[in-house]
Amino acid sequence: MNLKVGLLGGGSWGTTVASLTARNCPTTLWARSQATVDDINNNRRNEKYLPGAILPKTLKAANTIEETVKDADVIIMGIPAQHFRSVLQKARPFIRPWVPIVSLSKGLEKGTKMRMTQIIEEEMPGHPAGVLTGPNLAKEISKGQAAAGVIAMVDDTIATKLQGVFSTGLFRVYTNDDVVGCELGGALKNIIAIATGMGDGANAGDNTKAAVITRGLAELTRLGVAMGGKPLTFAGLAGMGDLVATCSSSTSRNRTVGFQLGKGRKLDEIIKEMKEVAEGVKTTEVVIELAKEYGVEMPIATEVYKVLYEGNTVQDAFRGLIRQEVGAESEPG
């Protein structure tokens, strides 16, 4: 393809996506760390975030945001939710008009409670905004294992064109016009992954895990639909698919946070040891606010919030869930 890609963010997922697009289009990646830039350019590696992975020769790294985006026909934002706006603002003067901007982030901005495509629309009016999401564990894809994702945009013509930017032989990309549902599925499942990890860390068993994942899917679907997402989206790759992968994998950052909490460790200690951001930690705060705003009951998210921010133990959380009144399966609880 003749399109040029500029990707902002040199973490594991940003680098993995850049390695995919570099197989189809000339791709430039910007990372904050000069050591990461040098490692990509000199060694075809990003050992800090993707140890052992060999990156394509067609992927190059840049020292500046300007160099990365100034000639790009597609901008990809591999930036965590709480830093997304500030990096986009820095890039804004150098991005050409009408260039599509695609988010890889699976979080919500604190304070504004905005999705990343809403931030793009606010900061970069006129630029088509979309999201690449789904059950996409970076380390598996970087090893060449098969996976599927979703590119969600309102404009199906642009989404279809971008399929060719991201798709490879082992990475299958579908389109979806439900941007709201796809973004919310990616953000909300991280909270359920923390809950699942808590259960695993506390040796709660597979029956409990299955119950948390299933009831968690119902919970995130309720809020997602209340906020404008389509029910079918939450049964697809951006909803159930992403939820199952994130709740099941030992490489999931959010599940890892929950697992360590289940072992009795403190949140501050866990976060300090992590190389990358577990989006679900801060997203939980936003989601509790949104649940109140939309009048949606989210018992699992509420118990996760109490463990993260109110000093409750994992045992307190499970006791809280057990005390929930049991009604029909279609009801909260």
Other C-beta atoms within 10 Å of 170: how many? 13
Q: What is the pLDDT along the chain (333 residues), one digit of tens a residue?
A: 689 999 999 999 999 999 999 999 999 999 999 999 999 999 999 999 999 999 999 999 999 999 999 999 999 999 999 999 999 999 999 999 999 999 999 999 999 999 999 999 999 999 999 999 999 999 999 999 999 999 999 999 999 999 999 999 999 999 999 999 999 999 999 999 999 999 999 999 999 999 999 999 999 999 999 999 999 999 999 999 999 999 999 999 999 999 999 999 999 999 999 989 899 999 999 999 999 999 999 999 999 999 999 999 999 998 888 766 555 566 666
Question: What does the pLDDT read at residue 319?
Answer: 85
What SS3 state is found at 175?
A: strand
Torsion angle in degrees (nearest 10) through CA of 32, 148, 217, 129: 50
Question: What does the pLDDT read at residue 325?
Answer: 54
CATH code for the domain defined by 5-177? 3.40.50.720
Specify the DSSP class assigned to residue 149: E
Measuring CA to CA, which residue among 136, 164, 12 is closest to residue 73?
A: 164
Question: What does the pLDDT read at residue 324?
Answer: 63
Question: What does the pLDDT read at residue 142?
Answer: 93
* CATH 3.40.50.720, the chain: domain bounds: 5-177
CATH code for the domain defined by 180-322? 1.10.1040.10
* CATH 1.10.1040.10, the chain: domain bounds: 180-322
Strand residue runs (E) in the chain: 5-8, 27-30, 59-62, 74-77, 101-103, 129-133, 147-153, 171-176
Catalytic positions, written as ranges: 189
Half-sphere exposure of 129 (CA within 13 A, CB side): 19
